[in-house]
Amino acid sequence: NSSVDGDTCTVVFYFRISPQTLRDLQEKPSKDWSAALRLLAEWCRVAPEDPTFRGRFKCMGFIDDIEKFVPSLATNYNGKPVLIKKTGTMYREDKLIEMDVNVHRFSFICRKILVGMKDKFKDMTFKVGFTIEGRDESELPEILLGCANINGINSEQGLDLHAHSHSSAEGAAAATSG
């Protein structure tokens, strides 16, 4: 099915720039920034209008003891970075950047594996990290922009957003199903 919409579970991550990074951006000349900070600043400036540059947003996911939950073929992909290209949508406001990743746009095999694991999510520990892909020496080393450890996702206990206003602040921060 090539649909890009349907029932789903949403996990929302909020990251705030660190005070040190903010000081570096405000007080240091850009030539003195780290390679990763220069790349992040460039991505924030260019990515909203340039889908190719936006596609350098990288997600890394790792599931502890994955062999307990999925077929052996899928274990080979555990911890492998994934560039979020056509599956990502970016929104930018004054002091906020939002990157949405639509799993309905993932490849068929990836979606199939995820659906097969859905009932096991509550027993899994996920590690997730995000970065911007460095493509040449001047953009390396890459650093994590944000990361999270998730101990079990029980989509049956999520907040059904269809029953709540879409502007509800409490709904925006919940793992949801619907």
Residue-by-residue DSSP string for 133-174:
---SGGG-S---SEEEEEE---GGGSB-GGGS-TT-HHHHTS
40-93 tens-digit pLDDT: 999 999 999 999 999 999 999 999 999 998 878 788 889 999 999 988 888 888
The pLDDT of 153-163, averaged and rounded, is: 68
| Strand 81-83 to 146-151 pairing | unpaired
95-131 tens-digit pLDDT: 888 888 888 888 888 888 888 888 888 999 999 999 9
The span from the CA of 34 to the CA of 30, in Å, is 9
For the whole model, what pTM was predicted?
Answer: 0.79
The span from the CA of 104 to the CA of 107, in Å, is 8
Residue 143's pLDDT band, with cuts at 50, 70 and 90, is very high
| Strand 81-83 to 88-93 pairing | unpaired
pLDDT score at 4: 62
Residue 9's pLDDT band, with cuts at 50, 70 and 90, is low
Residue 22 has pLDDT above 50, yes or no: yes
Q: What share of the chain is helix, strand, coil (3-state, %, to 5)?
A: 40, 25, 40
pLDDT score at 108: 85
The span from the CA of 132 to the CA of 134, in Å, is 6
Residue 25 has pLDDT above 90, yes or no: yes
